[in-house]
Every structure is written in C-alpha cells, then in structure tokens.
Chain A
C-alpha cells in the first residue's frame, strides 16, 4: 500500500486554533511583564520604557512587611514539609504495599485549596490555636508535605534497597544508615521537593487568607488588598519579580528530578 510520508503541519490555516490557544496561555503573563516597564502610571497607556516601578516596590512598607511574613511562612513550611515528607515517603516505601496509602499521602497536593483552607481553619478553631504566621506555616506545610512526599517517593523508586542493607551489614545502626546512606541517596529529590514547597508557599493565597490573622498578612494577601483599589504598575513589577523567582525555582527543581532519574 502506497503511503505518503506524513508532514508536520498541513494547511496553514488549520494551525491557527493551536497557536491561538498557546497565546491564550501566555498573554496575561506577557502583559504583566511588559506593563511593569511602563513609564506611565496609567495601566492602559504605554508612554515609554522605565525601571522606576522596581525600586518603589522595595520602598512600599506594606509590601515589604508582607514579603517578610511570606518568607518566614515559606521557610518554615518548607522545613516542616521536607522533614515530614521525607519520613513519610521512606515509611511508605518501607512499610506499605499497594498504592492506596501512597495515593492518600500525596492527595493533599491535588485537593482544592478551599477544602484544605476551611478544614484547617476549623481545626485551628477547635484547638483554639491563635491564628497568625504559625498557623499559616502549619497550613502550608500540609500541602507542601504532600508534594515533597510525591517527589521523594519517585526518587526512592530509583534507589537500590540493598544499599541500606549494606550499611547495616557493615555495622551501622538504623539512625546512622538513615543519615549516611538513605538521606544522601534521596538528596536530589529532597532538594527538588524543598524548592517546590517553597515556591508554592510563596504565592499561595486561599489557604493563607483563611488561616492568617489580619495583623500578619502574607504577600499575596497584601497584593490582593492593594489590587482592590486598582492595579498599579508597582504591582506589575512585583508580579514580575515573583515570576522570575518561581520560574527559577521550578526549573531548578525540574533539573534536579531529571538528574535524579538519570542516576
């Protein structure tokens, strides 16, 4: 049977929906980035290139306070998530069979934020836990733990289980084996999980909004309250900075997990 070699493409016009969809994905981000360099303070009029909005971001005390809160929350949540997620992943690998426990351990990463937010708020109320940075930190560590668990589990699948037995055989107890053999083997996964946890916490809004106190807003909450009075180029500059930070972190995390798979 005669077959023609299939060409990529075909009719030019048929490609339009594809490209439109692609543009649709990125237009909002591109607009934010471009407008952050707009000299005018009118959002809809381009009046020339300027970097003036970037310094103003750092002079805005509300933004700086929010950023400080967010960094504390993200750092704390990351530490908790890394410890819990690693232990959880190792425990799942070692002590359970079948996928159900595994699936439930990583599910909070996919659950609606709103569900987690309401649940956590009820839990804090029940325990009479004072809302503030700590409550957000704990709340964020819940979904962050799920992410770290998933990534470390993926890494674990590539680790030779006889390494731990070799360590024990050579005279190392459980703790020494965990710290000297298990953790170094998992390091790329743990680091990737940490970066992801940090990035996700950095711009998380819904859960933070529910579980923080009015006196301790995180950066996304600060931005939200500013935006209610109109988007300023300053916000665009801030959003662009956050974009660069998140994209970098995610790319590094991806590289680390790739690196992991190639080991």
Chain B
C-alpha cells in the first residue's frame, strides 16, 4: 500500500505579533513548525504502514526551507519525502495549491491513501484536502477520527460530525482529512533522526510536474487578498474578587441582565 501525507510548514504559535508602527508581522525569531494538525496525519500514515504494510511518503508545497518539515516527518518514521517548490507556485490560493499537490501525488504514482490535516494554522481553510481529491477524481472523507480497517481495496473509517459519529466506507484510492482524536503523534526516534538527516529530498518544480502551467501560483488563483490587518480582541471587562457567596451573586446578576434567567 502506498500512503502519501500532505504537510505544510507554518510559523509557530497563534499570536502573530505586528509592529504597531509598520503594521508588519514580526517573523524574526519565530520558529517554523509542521502544521500541528498534520502531525496527526503523519502519525496515522506511519500507523497504517505498521498495520497493513507498504510505503509512506510526505509531500509539501512551499519555499525551499519547507524541506526541514519533510525531514521532521521522516524522523518520525515516514519513508520518503518530496518538496514541490518553484517561484511559479508563489501566491497560490487553495485551488492552485490543491492542483499543484495533486500533480505531485500523481507523479509519486499508484497512491492508495492520501492523508491531510483538518486545516492549517495560517490558511485555516480545510479546503486543500477536498480540492486534491477532486483534482484526482477520487472519493474523500473529511474529519476522520478512526480508521477501522482496510481490506480488499476497501477502507472503513469513523468520521466526526457536529453531533454524531458516522461509519463511512469506500474504495481505495481515497483521500481523508483527520482530526486530533485519531491518534497521539509519536516522538522522533534516534534511528529515524539519523536517516532523516542523510536522506535526499527531491525538489520538483513546475516544469517537472507538467500540467497546465497557467493553473499554478497567483495566475491560477481566483482569490486575491486585498488587505490584511491584525486584530486585538479587547473586552471592556471587569474583574471581581471576594467571598464565594458574593461571587455567585455577581454571576447570577449578570445572567439575569443577559436575559438568561
């Protein structure tokens, strides 16, 4: 079985700091990490190989430094990695990103399962996974919280909806997006860390991917960001301190004011 995990490198943390004068996001000293959701995807990829055998890949589209993310995934236990990188990919929205990744996955070839994270920290759209599946013409299942079984080319999963779980079955090849509940990502092992250090990570550019070159990057991206700003959520709150009795009274008063009681 061939398993491909899609990962993205993102800046660590949510508190993007902005210089109040220049309005610029401060990135100096901010570490890049694997998108937290993608760790669950990587872990599930490794577990599938452990359960059913086969070969695991990670793929990422991004600037050259995204290679570190791929090496991190390999140090967790993924077999191979490939980076899709080209200036032509700059400015990609989710349509262009999913197209580019789908070409990369086709180039890897004969893939049975593609695993994506639920969403990214910076994009947070959750659109790339379903997009890849449509470009590849394969079925997809979102919010998977468990892979029950894979046999005879069929996969059985449990997926999480707002207020219920569902058992969903389909045929391979398939793309799934996974939620945190699915597993607990492992810590890299020394052996794999050494392997990750040495392994060669191929970089595929636009030309090597082929496809319709006008669908890459900004040109292939229908959406356009026209403004960005940071927002600080401030509440005109009040803080109260005192005896439990008084405190309960305060909350009660507030709930009444809010029309709840």
Asked if chains A and B come from one complex, the reply is no
Chain B interfacial positions (CB closer than 8 Å to A): none
Chain A interfacial positions (CB closer than 8 Å to B): none
